Structure 1
Amino acid sequence: MSATVETQDANIVWHQHAIDKAFRSGLKKQKPAVLWFTGLSGAGKSTVAGALETKLAQLGYHTYLLDGDNVRHGLCKDLSFSDSDRKENIRRIGELAKLMADAGLIVLSAFISPHRSERQMVRELLPEGEFIEVFVNVPLEICEQRDPKGLYKKARAGEIKNFTGIDSLYEAPESPEIDLPAGELDVALLVDLMIESLDQKGIIRL
């Protein structure tokens, strides 16, 4: 089932409330941001994002993790895996991440999000410096060897169509804010790299 996006009514106006992003983030003593994890299926996006969220929570930061499979159980359960529905999936998640950042949260978003144009669409929803593209960089052959859900095997057998990396294109980031060599290092080291990078970027303070 494909979703259709209606043109916004000219009579709908954004209402600016007295309590704004700066106030909310000030209460939390943190800088809001959207950490957008992208990479092939099996690269470890959800694993790294989950481990990072645990570390951030231990350090006292307020976060929320948006996971690709989880949102398709609710917010995006009406969408297929066609190119048009995938674009709508990312649009919805981008709008949700924007609202969560407005609440002062550090949002971790783990999605394949295969197309550069869609990731750019989300970037443009947010103020400069608030969108942090994290490339979970693992070659296709390693992802296929891992195949934790058996999806590559099914895709190779023709049981799954439009599978990213097999019969659907993945466009790797050209200049991500963070490039994680997730095919070479274990999760603990990747989290350490993320924490160091977020500190350097002023998202957190160690």
Structure 2
Amino acid sequence: MATNITFHPGHVSYEERSSLLSQRGLTLWLTGLSASGKSTIATALEQHLLHLKKSAYRLDGDNIRFGLNKDLGFSPKDREENIRRIAEVSTLFASSTTITITSFISPYKADRQVARDLHAAHSPALPFIEVFVDASIEECEKRDPKGLYKKAKAGEIKEFTGISAPYEAPEKPEIHIDADKTSVEDAVRIITEYLLEHKYI
């Protein structure tokens, strides 16, 4: 870790920025198995929030691995670092009063807790809303747009979540989406209603 650096706080406080932009920053953290529908829901949600004139930005698991996290693989250690970086980035976005939408498998409870703790440590604390996109393995295998489950079962992909690597489901997510039975439109509605009910938007 570098020691010859100094943190430079901004001159614009979170409160002032939030007041000027008439918006609160927060992170919606979508977690679930591959092919559960996280990215599809996140994309639709981002578009819906923008139509409501809210500043929203989506961080997608696959997309981030083309740039920021292109040096990481899928070992437990790399998965941990992948989520740590995203936790830091989403906290930065939320602190700018952006509604940040992340869609990452993020299979480990401890890593998701790190993300939650980072948001809580911000001054003021930033809302961290865990959204469990809960699709069964069977449903994910039916969808499987990239054919990953078939490859994982054939041993072509090592450490694949849900097949050869664990997924630790959230125990108390703020929002639970039954992805086997819920349409994308209804998922967006459920999340939006939560944000309205808690006066986040």
TM-score (norm 1): 0.92
Corresponding residue for residue 130 of structure 2: 133
- CA deviations on 1:134-155 (whole Å, 9 max, x unpaired) are 0001111111111111000100
Paired letter, 2:91: K
Q: Tell me, yes or no, if structure 1 residue 46 matches structure 2 residue 39.
A: yes
| Distance in 2 between residues matched to 1:94 and 1:126, nearest whole Å | 8
Corresponding residue for residue 164 of structure 2: 167
- CA deviations on 1:47-72 (whole Å, 9 max, x unpaired) are 00110111100001001100001000
One of 168, 176, 181 as aligned partner of 2:178: 181
Corresponding residue for residue 188 of structure 2: 191
Gaps in structure 2 of 5+ consecutive residues? none
Corresponding residue for residue 148 of structure 1: 145
| Distance in 1 between residues matched to 2:169 and 2:13, nearest whole Å | 35
Contact kept, 8 Å, 2:107 with 2:168, in 1: the verdict is: yes
Following superposition, the deviation at residue 30 of structure 1 comes to 1.2
Paired letter, 1:145: K
Corresponding residue for residue 83 of structure 2: 90
One of 9, 16, 37 as aligned partner of 2:9: 16
Contact kept, 8 Å, 2:91 with 2:119, in 1: the verdict is: yes
One of 82, 96, 101 as aligned partner of 2:94: 101
| Distance in 2 between residues matched to 1:188 and 1:124, nearest whole Å | 30
Contact kept, 8 Å, 1:49 with 1:110, in 2: the verdict is: yes
Corresponding residue for residue 4 of structure 1: none
| Distance in 1 between residues matched to 2:8 and 2:29, nearest whole Å | 27
Contact kept, 8 Å, 2:27 with 2:99, in 1: the verdict is: yes
| Distance in 2 between residues matched to 1:70 and 1:27, nearest whole Å | 31
Alpha carbons of structure 1 residues 100 and 129: separation in structure 2 relative to 1, 3 Å: closer
| Distance in 2 between residues matched to 1:37 and 1:193, nearest whole Å | 13
Gaps in structure 1 of 5+ consecutive residues? 1-6
Following superposition, the deviation at residue 190 of structure 1 comes to 1.0
What root-mean-square deviation, in Å, do the aligned CA atoms of Structure 1 and Structure 2 show?
1.2
Corresponding residue for residue 3 of structure 1: none
Following superposition, the deviation at residue 129 of structure 1 comes to 5.7
Tell me which moved more, 34-43 or 123-132.
123-132
Corresponding residue for residue 29 of structure 2: 36
Contact kept, 8 Å, 1:25 with 1:105, in 2: the verdict is: no
| Distance in 2 between residues matched to 1:96 and 1:155, nearest whole Å | 30
